[in-house]
Amino acid sequence: MSLWKVRGVAAGSALLIAGLVAGCGPGSPTQAASTPAVASSASPDPSSSPSPTRLSPEDQLETDRLLILAAKANDPVRVRELIAAGGDVNAKDDIQDSAFLYAGAEGFNEVLQLTLAAGADVASINRYGGTALIPASEHGHTDTVRILIAAGVPVNHVNNLGWTAMQEAILLNNGGQNQQDVVRQLLAAGADPDIRDPQGRTALQNAERLGFTEIAALIRNR
């Protein structure tokens, strides 16, 4: 073999080894080394959501568990972090609570908005077969009801107890101003007060029976 061939082979081997070493170093993938970085003059949008992280099945379960706990603690900062880490806002715990369902039921509106922005299933149901709107209506969370209606939660869904959001707003609270506002919102959103409960009573009949005259008037004048 001629001298120039020997030198050529040696030089090529040296380049190959150098490339492999560079590609194996921490934080220095081969592809990144071969692709020039493109500088951007634009600052990242702070309001944009990070891309979901792909987790192992075990890590996914743990992240989802922590997300539900953060939602139940009404901790929007932690909820945001866990969503960014790949937490699933529709994942449910052993009693069928998801971060979305719990936030809606309890009126944790900042957490609720985060779960909606992260793709919450507005038709999902809890252990009673009800949507998030039903317990929100029962508890008189007027702003939460407004958020859920705007998000598209079905207003005429009937849960396993045979009650709609309107029936629960009447049957399980005191008929006060918050309940009146909830019923007013539900009627405006197309809720049907003629859907009967398991005893065969309409929402109007229940309002009259319980002495909730203001709610009864809202239903009559719809």
- Per the CB < 8 A criterion, the answer to whether 100 and 93 are in contact is no
Q: Are residues 107 and 154 in the same domain?
A: no
Contact 97, 123 (CB under 8 A): no
Residues 71 and 60 in one domain: yes
**Residue located via tokens 């075990």:** 58
Q: Are residues 92 and 179 in the same domain?
A: no
What is the C-alpha to C-alpha distance for residues 56 and 34, in angstroms, rounded to an integer? 30
For position 54, what pLDDT does the model report? 83
Number of domains in the chain: 2
Whether residue 113 is found in the same domain as residue 144: no
| Mean pLDDT estimate for the chain | 84
Is residue 25 over pLDDT 90?
no
Give residue 53's pLDDT. 62
Q: Which of 152, 127, 151, 130 is nearest to 139 (CA)?
A: 130
Q: Is residue 189 part of a domain?
A: yes
Domain that holds residue 104: 55-120
Average confidence (pLDDT) over 144-167: 98
Structural tokens at position 3: 């001298």
In a domain, residue 10? The reply is no
- Quick one: 170 and 213 in the same domain? yes
Q: State pLDDT tens for residues 66-103.
A: 999 999 999 999 999 999 999 999 999 999 999 999 99
Question: Same structural domain for residues 140 and 101?
Answer: no
Average pLDDT value for residue range 129-137 = 98
Element (H, E) at 213: helix 213-220
Task: Based on the fold, state whether residues 108 and 155 are members of the same structural domain.
Answer: no
Q: Poorest-confidence range of 23-27, 161-165, 192-196?
A: 23-27
135 and 98 within one domain: no
136 and 102 in one domain? Answer: no
84 located within any domain? yes
Would the pTM of this model clear 0.95, i.e. be above it? no
CA 124 to each of CA 43, 114, 117, 131, 163: distance values in angstroms, whole numbers, following the listed order: 37, 16, 15, 6, 16
The two three-digit tokens of residue 118, written as one number:
């992260």
Q: Are 208 and 221 found together in one domain? A: yes
Same domain for 221 and 136: yes
The sign of the dihedral angle between the CA atoms of 175, 136, 71, 149 is: negative
Q: What is the CATH number of the domain that holds 68?
A: 1.25.40.20
> Within this chain, do residues 64 and 145 fall inside the same structural domain, yes or no?
no
pLDDT reading at 142 higher than 80: yes
Neighbours of 31 (CB within 10 A): 7
The residue from 100, 120, 140 where one domain ends is: 120
pLDDT for residue 29: 39
Q: Is residue 42, in this structure, part of any structural domain at all?
A: no
Distance CA 88, CA 85 (A): 9
Rg (CA), the chain: 28
